[in-house]
Structure 1
């Protein structure tokens, strides 16, 4: 009787274990498409005189591969943002072959002056030259305003990212706490562990992170750079939006526990992720292009400036066809914000009561600067000087990283080349980083992912085990029935 009872217990235990394992397989199959789900396995142990039982539900994991995936995701996300922004920035200067590019508009201005030079008595050609000059100024204005908008957009994105980091850290506290409290108990923590890893993946896209596992499976999170983000509880990540950022104005720093981690005063600068990328756009890339635009504006104002035609000269150089801040800028200075200020001199604008013939005659600075003193309709000298000035070599300061001697046209081409080179490098870097991320994700999926074919095969084996236990149960039941009949 004892042997039949033991057989019955073993059969029941087998049925229970098969049922539990089948439930885990079903759970795996239903989550096969979830990249944050790790394959679960029911760990079976055999107890003396009790048969097989499910000891725990384990999950497939690889901490090193997860760390690699988070690192590559952080790198890839940041480089994608920089690549996208550089594409946007390259549209401001344009391709030299594009009629709307800054080099092309300078070329059109020079062509208009050359044409006007051939027929200096034509008011229509004078107006065409003035309109070409207006287009150049407006192109620089629009580009400068858009660069400031790019900086402001990056600043707002930093604020959004800071909010997401705080939200993710709050979620992490809840999940991590449940895991720590559940260690050593019979609770199934596998789903909570999946959720914790998924939060870490999302966090790594916002900011580069490193993790450390302490006793009781407690996880600490550090930002790349050393700042602590989570140690038992979330650290404060704060950022105050800078608002509209005009050329030359600095943006606010992101703070972790009150310590700046972005900007020139960062003590533990963060790397990787959206925060680092947007900070680079706001504080480095966009300001550099802004300075280049300002140098173009300064070069343009200087090229078209007026000087005293008398010898010896007694009058200072003054702004001519183009105006900026009211004084003639020095190419050795940064001239911050000049590209946003440059405009067509209203004295040459018929729409504002001016005369386009001043391009031929001079006199923007007053009577002392008039070149065509005789009022000749065929006067060409000043027009030729202005056309030549676009090709005249000048010494630009090293603001914007494009210093050295160059003509105004060549300087604009250097700016386009600089931006295009940065865009291509960023795109190549992003593609390489995205490839590394994809490989890391695939490698981790090979270990933690669900193979539906394998699960189906496991389910068939479990079905056979279930049938065997059922058969044993049926046999034991039949034997017990026979025994009871004999006793009765």
Structure 2
């Protein structure tokens, strides 16, 4: 080999070593960076004619395990969806209050029962009558506020759906743009690893919303499919459609057309069930809260309100009531209407005829709501009938309760237990999904940057750099000697 050929070979070796050292530096610096994939320099022998002429840099290999990344994204979607359900069930439990806690639904029922017993012991005392009115009002307000909290959670879920759909559309367009930029870069022989990292982070940002799979395409492009089978990006990005309601009240449903469903390229798609194309992520979980979990909780509260109204509208509870007249508890002043049960919990109120602030008379609590003339101030009969109505065993006429007969206190406890058990089940599911996600993340990290390996490789590169530098130094000395001759 000529001196010039040796010099060229050594220079190519120096360039390759410098490039490899630069990649190792980048690997070590980004070892904990989300979406970063390890880089490795691809080299081969440079041949001119039939003789070697140093090192040829073929490009940069971005090492990413697509199978592990795909599993991590699915686990990520499941974990995020579970967290969404946990948040709602926790919110519901907080609105109802846990059994035994002050201000809870169960404690309000107990407080009302106690006030009736105290009034029965001193029916002539106005303070005892005021206590009954206040505890009854507190009970209705607790049920109403819990129902309001449920509808607020539905409205929040509706807003979350809108935000997530917007993010999906924006990010899918970004991924499509990355596909184009990467393709152009590969055609022009540029290193596109950084663009691929950015694309991976973009895809990761929507993986929690909709679980997806990534399929490689030509020129470095990718196609995206939901695990349910929908094509959301293959050349051209799909477009999701949704219209936020803004305000959500009891009775508003997707089935009735009042609440928006989800569309994909203008076509309606199922948001729940086996046929759903988006199941498994936060988008489906938000629809579950809005259209399933919250309405079920509302239906149970409405059933609780119905049970309370009908118990105290029974002629056996208050013989003074005219036929079909509302009892102590009403639907905004009226009796219970089976055709208007939806949203009853929010409309639950104490009969104004016993509320002095609304023109009523406290003594009607003692004499009966339909009493035309005052009765004996020492009579506890009506308070005893109220207590008996509260404690009598009845089968709930609606809601998701079992058919067993219950007192009203037991029904309220069942309602609270429904929220608590739902929260516990959701937390267990979230714990499982979080552990699954952590396991897959660990596998992904194991296939990522190993700093020990990188430093060992750097030592070999330094030796190669030193060897090439020595060759250049020797060639330089030889050339100097030739020039001195």
The TM tier, using the shorter chain, reads over 0.9
Residue 320 of structure 1 aligns with which residue? 327
CA spacing shift, 1:134–1:165, aligned 2, 3 Å: same
User: For residues 359 and 280 of structure 1, do their structure 2 counterparts lie closer, same or farther at Cα, with a shift above 3 Å needed?
Assistant: same
Change (3 A) 1:428 1:303: same
Map Cα deviations across residues 256-282 of structure 1 (whole Å, 9 max, x no partner).
Answer: 112223457996442122211111111
CA contact (8 A) 2:24 2:458 kept: yes
2: CA distance, partners of 1:401 / 1:314? 29
Shift of 1:315: 4.8
CA contact (8 A) 2:123 2:379 kept: yes
Rounded to whole Å, the distance in 2 between the matches of 1:95 and 1:199 is 41
Aligned to 1:146: 149
Match of 2:315 among 307, 314, 323: 307
Partner of 1:235: 238
Aligned equivalent of 1:15 = 14
Unaligned runs of 5+ in 2: 254-258
Q: How big is each residue's C-alpha offset from its partner over 1:20-47, in whole Å with a ceiling of 9 and x where there is no partner?
A: 1111112222222312111101112112
Structure 1 residue 399 displacement after superposition: 2.2
Aligned to 2:470: 471
Residues 334 and 61 of structure 1: CA distance in aligned 2, closer, same or farther (over 3 Å): farther
Q: Distance in 1 between matches of 2:385 and 2:142?
A: 23
- Equivalent residue, structure 2, for 1:197: 200
Query: Residues 308 and 437 of structure 1: is their aligned pair in 2 closer, same or farther, counting only changes over 3 Å?
Result: closer
Superposed displacement of residue 308, structure 1: 7.9
Give 1:42-57 correspondences, 5 Å limit. Answer: 42-48=41-47, 49-57=52-60
Unpaired segments ≥5 residues, structure 1:
368-372
Q: Distance in 1 between matches of 2:390 and 2:369?
A: 20
Cα gap change, 1:444/1:36 in structure 2, threshold over 3 Å: closer, same or farther?
A: same
CA RMSD of the aligned region, Å?
2.3
Distance across 1 between alignment mates of 2:394 and 2:325: 17
Matches within 5 A, 1:114-263: 114-183=117-186, 186-250=189-253, 251-263=259-271
Q: Could you tell me which residue of structure 2 aligns to residue 354 of structure 1?
A: 360
CA contact (8 A) 1:402 1:415 kept: no
DSSP 3-state at the match of 1:304: helix
Secondary structure in 2 matching 1:108: helix
The number of residues matched between the two structures is 476
Q: How does 1:419-438 map to 2 (within 5 A)?
A: 419-438=419-438
Q: Distance in 2 between matches of 1:126 and 1:361?
A: 11
Structure 2: how far apart are the matches of 1:346 and 1:321? Answer: 9
TM-score (norm 1): 0.92
SS at match of 1:394: coil
* In structure 2, distance between residues paired with 1:263 and 1:443: 31
Distance 1:309 1:162, change over 3 A: closer
Report the secondary structure of 1:88's partner residue: helix
Q: Find out whether 1:288 has 2:287 as its counterpart.
A: no
Whole-angstrom CA distance in 2 between matches of 1:20 and 1:402: 71
Matched residue of 1:400: which SS?
A: coil
